[in-house]
Structure formats: structure tokens, C-alpha cells
Amino acid sequence: MAEGCNSKCGICLSFIFTEPKLLHCYHTFCLPCLQKLDMNGNKITCPLCKTKMSLSDKGVVGLKSYPFRLEYVKVDNAVMDACDLCDEQNFAVSKCLECKINLCSNCRNYHGKLKASKNHTIQPLKIFDSEELDQTISNVKTKCKEHCKELTLFCKQCNTSLCIECLEETHHCHQVENLSMFLQTKKEMLLVRIASLKARISFLQNTAEMVKLKEINYNKHCHTETGCKNIIDNIKKKDMKEFDKYMNQIETEKMSLSGLIMTTDDYINQSSDAHFLAEFSVIRKRLDNTSCKSVNIFPPIHDLGYEWDAVSEAVIEKMFGKIIAREKEKEVKPIYPHLPVPQLCLLPAHKAVKLSEFVVPNEVLDIIPADNDNAWLLTPRLACMYTNKGIKDQSFNTHDDIKRFVRKTASRMLFCKDVVVFTDKNFIVLDSFQKLYAQFKALATDKYGNILVADYFSDIIYLLSENGVFQQSLVNKSYGVHETTIMIIDECGYLWLVGASKCIKVFSYQ
């Protein structure tokens, strides 16, 4: 039985079936319960889903017995005993050995909860042996009748199971699939539909709880002690019938879904391969039709209220007194002084001041910052350290092929002839900076994250933010800048510029 689905007979509401019969709509009922139903000729209507179906000459006795393992009682030719406790004339399914009374399923559960009888021995009546259930289904051998070999394949074109010799003889040109995989796919299709029906049961349960709350609020609203109590009571009786009718519809729908889930789950887990394939299409269609069925709309109930006649001013004055209008005292509103808003300078203004200027004897190939306010200058075959005053500190010989100095940093900046591109450490482009007719040949960064770019064509040094946003033009021709090709910022924050005339200029701008 499907987990979380407690199916019971939709007529006697017993969880233990008495010779269960399976209807064409895949709902299961006790045989004695079906025999009590009104029949129109040789037709019967399912009490749960209202599906009409024709019967054979044997009537409900000729219906198909439930083919799977299920806890139920077998009826012998003799008349079954009725329950000795209740007056509902339910069939007895158990017997208390101490009290020596027959019990139906409901009384059996109640009898086991009482303090006086909870320790009694309750023995089921003659239970139908599960080994006798549908031996033709449980003992079917999945072997080919013609070749006596195991059926391991399924022909989609012929819709039949095959053995390997069937495939080679008559189905070699057909679309064939592994039987186990094919069955697993079909079973998963039904399991998805079972999950949908279980969700529908949860929805119906929530709806039932909402209806109960609505019924409680309705009863509170209808409580009155006035002279119109009889009128309200008559209206309330009609509405309560609608409440009960709707709750019965919800309960019937839940039992219908539970019974369908139980039958489908048993076909998935207990039926043979041939039996499952024979019933699959009909079960799937039945599940789809049930899933598409709309939920019954809550019936309209009366909204009770009082209708008032026109009320005059005299009646109001009599009830609440005469209305007097008084002049309202003037309110003193506080006056707040206007405070001046301070001017904020969001972008700091920088001014460049030349610190020194000196000329080196050889052509400068590259320059990088050194310690403090010193810098390394790369000339052909020689690397020299200079102070910002132009004093040579130390030097060493280099190879003829060395043309550039490189200093590694965490970020990466690329520049070309007319555009500066900013990337992250993965070389993903973040932003760019460009000027019309510009030729960028030098680039440097300071300790505050600012970026300085030298325009070789316009003789301008641009100051950019760390994200490449333009801040200001820091140095231009008026400072003596000409054709800057190399630029650095030393550890003291001084700007070193190398021009085309071997002239080095050092500026302080921070």
C-alpha cells in the first residue's frame, strides 16, 4: 500500500476489506457492501467517483477480486456474524476471547483503547490466506511461450515482450528496448501521477480545516438573543446542511484518491510484468482524468445583517446628545532656523611643484622606483640609481639586449597607442580611458591608487582614479614637459618624467 495513504472501503469505512472487489474505475469495496447498493438493471455506480459500469449476469459477485495482498476477511457460504457492540450492523472482523464478542473494525479499535479491555486478546476471524491470492499472477514465469527463454526485451511497435530469439526471428527491424528499463520508465510515470494525487489529498485536508474554521466563525456570528432568533435559526439550518454536504464531498474525494493510489501502487510493486503492461494504459488514463478534475466550489451561505431605516438628527441627539461646535485653539508650530549647508570638496585638487631637473649623459630606456626618493634608470649597457636631485648613487653594467625594467604589482594595467585598458587579475576588462589624438607612452601608479598617464603627442600628464575615471590634467607643456616616454613615482610620492632630450624632471604633486 502507498506510504501515507490509508485506504478503506468507501461504504462501510472499514480498513479491513471483506472479500474486496475491484471495480473498472480501480476503486475497491467489500463484496457485502456492494450487494447493498441500488442497481439499475445490470449497471452499478461507484459510490466514490460516480463512474457507471455494466455487470455480468453474476452481478457484483462476478466482479474481479482484488488481485494483490491485502488484509481482508473471506466470506464463507454461511452468513457472516455482525458486530455485537454497535447498532450499525457492520460485519465482524475480530473477536475478543475474554469478552467472547464479535467486533467490527471500528469497535475493535475502540475496544483496544479502553482501560478495562486494552489487555484483552483480540483475534481476527478467518483471514483469507495471502498465498491463495491470484496465483496466476504471482506465479507467472517471465519466459517466452514459444522459445521458453526469459523475456528481456520489449518491442514498441508490436507492444509485446520478447526473448532474444523472438528479436532475431521476427522483430529484428523493429524498435526494441530493454524490458527492465522500459518497465521502470512506465512505473516512474505512474509514480509522478501518484505524487500529484497525494498533493491533492493534502490540499483537500487543508480545505476541510478552513471550512471547519469558517463554520465556527459562522456559529459565533449567528448567536443572538433577539426576537428574530427563529428566523436566524431557520437560515442557520440551511447553511449547516451546506457545510455538512461540502465536508462529505471532501471526505468522499479523499477516499476516492486514496483508493486509486492504493491500487496503482500495488500494480507497480506487486503485479507481474505482463499484468502491469496490460493495465498500464488504462491506469494512466484514469490517473490523468482524476488529476484534471476540478475541485468543488464552496457553496454560498447567507451573510446575516440588519437593515437600518433612515435615521434623523433628532434620533441621533436623543441617543448621543446635542452636537456643539467649539472653536479650535490655535496651534503653535515650531519654526526651525535655516542652517547653511557646508560646501564639500569631493575631489581633492592637486598642484604640481618642480623639485629638480637634471640631464643624464646617455639615452634613458626605462625607469622604475627604488627605495625612498631614488629611482633606477636604465641606459644602454648600464643601470644607475639617481636621487631626485640628480646625484648618481650606484650603477652596474647590463646586457645589450635589456631594454625595460619590470616591477610586479597585484593589479594589471595595459596601455597602447591611443587607449588605456584596465583589467583585473584575470585580465577581464573593467574600464578604459582614451583621448582624441592621444599617444600614451608611459603609465604609473601612486600609493593612493591614483593612475598617471603620459600623452606623448599633447605633452600632458593625466591623473585618473584607481577605476580609470578622469580627475584632472596634472602637468602640461607649461611645466616644461616634452615628449614623455618614461614615467615613475618613487616611494616618497615624487613623479619622475623622462623626455626625448635626455632631460629628467621630478615633480611633487600630492
What digits encode the pLDDT tens for the residues 18-69? 888 889 899 999 888 888 887 777 888 898 888 888 888 888 888 888 888 7
Question: Contact, 30 vs 11, CB < 8 A?
Answer: yes
pLDDT (average), residues 315-324? 75
Helices (H), 309-421: 313-320
CATH architecture of 353-508: 6 Propeller (2.120)
Strands (E), 313-374: 353-359, 366-369
C-alpha cell at 245: 454536504
Residue of 237 and 142 predicted with greater confidence:
237
pLDDT of the residue at 461: 92
- pLDDT tier, 163 (very low <50, low <70, confident <90, very high otherwise): confident
User: Would you say residue 405 has pLDDT above 60?
Assistant: no
**What residues contact 161, with CB distance under 8 A and at least 6 apart?**
142, 151, 153, 154, 155, 179, 273, 274, 277
pLDDT of the residue at 460: 92
DSSP state of 150: B
CB contact burial 121-153 (16+ within 10 A = b; e otherwise): ebeebeebeeeebbeeebeeeeebeeeeeebeb
User: Would you say residue 82 has pLDDT above 50?
Assistant: yes
pLDDT of the residue at 410: 40
Q: Pick the most confident of 14-18, 229-233, 338-342, 384-388.
A: 384-388
pLDDT of the residue at 127: 45
- pLDDT tier, 325 (very low <50, low <70, confident <90, very high otherwise): low
pLDDT of the residue at 139: 46
| 262 alpha carbon, distance to own chain's centre | 28
pLDDT of the residue at 411: 42
CB contact burial 315-350 (16+ within 10 A = b; e otherwise): eeeeeeeeeeeeeeeeeeeeeeeeeeeeeeeeeeee
Asked which of 170-179, 307-316, 338-347, 474-483 is least confident by mean pLDDT, the reply is 338-347
Kindly report the average pLDDT of the chain as a whole number: 78
- pLDDT tier, 331 (very low <50, low <70, confident <90, very high otherwise): low
What digits encode the pLDDT tens for the residues 205-257? 888 888 888 888 777 766 655 556 677 777 778 888 888 888 888 888 888 89
Same CATH fold assignment for domains 140-174 and 353-508:
no
- The burial class, CB within 10 Å (0-12 / 13-18 / 19+), for 400 is exposed
pLDDT of the residue at 152: 82
Strands (E), 208-364: 353-359
Return d(Cα 287, Cα 292) in angstroms, integer: 9
- The burial class, CB within 10 Å (0-12 / 13-18 / 19+), for 406 is exposed
Kind and range of the H or E run holding 171 = none
pLDDT of the residue at 329: 65
- Decide the pairing of beta strands 176-178 and 366-369: unpaired
Kind and range of the H or E run holding 204 = helix 179-222
Question: Contact, 507 vs 490, CB < 8 A?
Answer: no
Task: Map out the domains of the chain as residue ranges.
Answer: 17-132, 140-174, 185-291, 353-508
- pLDDT tier, 131 (very low <50, low <70, confident <90, very high otherwise): very low
Question: Contact, 471 vs 463, CB < 8 A?
Answer: yes
CATH architecture of 140-174: 2-Layer Sandwich (3.30)
> In Å, what is the CA distance from 155 to each residue of 141, 144, 162, 173, 501?
19, 14, 7, 10, 90
Q: What is the 3-state secondary structure (H, E, C) of 54-81?
A: ECECCEHHHCEECCCCCCEECCCCCCCC
- pLDDT tier, 414 (very low <50, low <70, confident <90, very high otherwise): very low
User: Would you say residue 412 has pLDDT above 50?
Assistant: no
